[in-house]
Amino acid sequence: ATAVLLAAVPASAQAPPNVVGSRTLQPWMVACTDMPVTAKPEPRLTVKGVHDRDTRLLASRGGEVMIGRFPDDGLAPGQRYAVRRLQGDPKTFPRQGEGFGAVRTAGWVTVTAVNEWNALAVVDLACDGINPGDYLDLYTEPTLPATAGEMMPPDFSDRANVLEGTDSKAMFGDGDTLSINRGTAHGVVVGARYAFYRDRYDGKDGMPLYHLGDAVVVEPGELTSKVVVVKTVD
């Protein structure tokens, strides 16, 4: 059975007063949630190594990493970058049109110094150990919604699919974050409210879908969006 999301919930369901779930949700938790992508990233800036007197193999919060430079890379002190890596084997990462692959956000860094060959950056926060070979992407701080959309009648003709969570997580409860295959290209906005349903009857005509819970969009992308589960009944 596959859970699906709709831009509505049953009329009998009540909107929870907290729009970001039953647990304390922080922006960094959203930023650390894996991102589904439809094409393999082609990084330009990568982590060259960990800058540490003990020759550590990975960096955590407060540590320093070296970034290899190239002409016109634009690196300058004060810039902030997300550090990411492909989830799983790069050789089996889905190609364009083969579905979604996952990108792990290992953390984010701030550039502190540059010279002709390298840039030095301090780790602001680590979702995971930051390793040599991880790549850099521009960092944008997520802004959690203060309000959520109102309940609307269900539109069962427009269903989205639940994608994986962090570390290929496939089961979710109250307060968890995950992604759906709808984004700004489909009209998704921050604070939009969705409902989870499952087809327990394998598509048999006339059999109802089962309502599993509700979610609120916390970070929309172009084709996918991160949502937080605000209520579950299963």
The string of pLDDT tens digits covering residues 26-72 is: 889 999 999 888 888 888 899 998 887 777 778 888 889 999 998 88
- The neighbour count for residue 185, using CB atoms within 10 Å, is 11
Residue 179 has pLDDT above 90, yes or no: yes
The whole-angstrom separation of Cα 154 and Cα 227 is 18
Who contacts 152 (Cβ-Cβ below 8 Å, separation ≥6)?
A: 7, 8
Residue 1 has pLDDT above 50, yes or no: no
Residue 4 has pLDDT above 70, yes or no: no
The string of pLDDT tens digits covering residues 180-209 is: 999 999 999 999 999 999 988 887 877 888
**What SS3 class is residue 185?**
helix
The string of pLDDT tens digits covering residues 62-85 is: 889 999 998 889 899 999 999 999
Distance linking the first and last C-alpha atoms of the chain: 13
pLDDT for residue 88: 77
- DSSP summary character for residue 221: -
Who contacts 168 (Cβ-Cβ below 8 Å, separation ≥6)?
A: 87, 102
pLDDT for residue 203: 75
